[in-house]
Amino acid sequence: MFRNREIRRLAVWFAGVTIVCSGAGFALQPGAGLLLLAAAAAYGAAFFLFTRARYRSIAKISEQIDQVLHDGDCLYIGEMDEGELSILQTEISKMTLRIREQNDALKKEKGHLADSLADIAHQLRTPLTSANLILSLLKDNPGESGRKGLLRDMEGLFRQMDRLIDSLLKLSRLDAGIVVFRKEPVQVAGLIETASRPLLIPMELHEITLEIQVPEGARIDGDPDWLGEALQNILKNCMESIGDRGCIQIACEDTLLYTEITIHDSGPGFGKEDLYHVFDRFYRGRDTKASGYGIGLSLCRTIITRQGGTVAARNHPRGGALFVIRFPK
């Protein structure tokens, strides 16, 4: 207790005042001096006992905090009697729990990052392995036609890697929170047209029919560029699912409470095991022949939810996959 400078100063001042007052009392009358000395001793003893109890309580809290810091399983700080120390103990307990929650979240994030890096390495290793194989075949000096075919295959692999890296960069920017979404009125009809335009030629080559039904004036508030990216990823997923000679239907419902966009394809729909993991990052489904990298739908969900919307996936009652995007008004 006396290690604290404030306590030492108070003790010196108390002793000085006691000596001066007692000396004055003895000068007037010996009985007054003795009474002052007795009163000073009583007040000093009471203050000493009270302060020592306070410091012992503080030391106990300090020991418990040290135990919490060095013992991973200890989270409890003993309760104190009512008063300032009880309030302090409560706030320290809250802080301890908050720190532990943050540490647990950081551990989970670290594990997620490690898994993501492993998935990224795996996704990049596949086209790189194929490219190395093509290079080894090119070393054998194949004929002109064979060399052109191998070069086309290598070009396709590099395009796949470019798309993968571009998607990963977009995800990393969203995860880091450095993307600032614009918030402006977006016409749903124009958004669908912009998102589907780059896919019209592949749809025509695969004889895929695109049906669009959007009421006039339907709109949502958000960033048109990023919303177009999200919608295009869903359309790509539908195209990969239905294959040749399929159909994709896009409809919109505009109400006083929300604007809803539904995308229905004529594919096989989702398996029971896949339905709960559709938007998980790097999840490609039970079908090992599935194309893509399992990033598009995860990116889609992140874009939509960051702008206040929701997206869900389920099987349509008449068959096929159904994606539902909803933005409240």
DSSP conformation letters of 149-187: HHHHHHHHHHHHHHHHHHHHHHHHHHHHT------EEEE
Q: What is the pLDDT of residue 238?
A: 92
Read off the pLDDT of each residue in 170-176 and give the average, rounded to a whole number: 77
Q: Is the pLDDT of residue 69 over 80?
A: no
Q: Is the pLDDT of residue 115 over 80?
A: no
User: What is the distance between the alpha carbons of residues 257 and 327, in angstroms, rounded to a whole number?
Assistant: 9
> Could you name the CATH architecture of 184-328?
2-Layer Sandwich (3.30)
Q: What is the pLDDT of residue 189?
A: 94
Closest C-alpha among 290, 252, 261 to residue 273: 290
Q: What is the pLDDT of residue 79?
A: 58
Q: Is the pLDDT of residue 58 over 80?
A: no
Ramachandran bin of 253, using left for φ above 0, alpha for ψ from -120 to 50, beta for the remaining angles: beta
Averaged pLDDT score across all residues of the chain: 81
Read off the pLDDT of each residue in 83-105 and give the average, rounded to a whole number: 74
- Percent pLDDT > 70 in the chain is 86
Kindly report which listed range (75-84, 147-156, 219-228) carries the lowest average pLDDT score.
75-84
Helix (H) or strand (E) holding 248: strand 247-254
Same fold, 101-176 and 184-328: no
The model's confidence at residue 73, banded by pLDDT at 50, 70 and 90, is: low
Q: What is the pLDDT of residue 234?
A: 94
Evaluate if pTM is beyond 0.75: no
Q: In CATH, what number does 101-176 get? A: 1.10.287.130
Domain boundaries, the chain: 5-74, 101-176, 184-328
Residue with tokens 């700080």: 77
Helix (H) or strand (E) holding 295: none
Q: Is the pLDDT of residue 74 over 60?
A: no
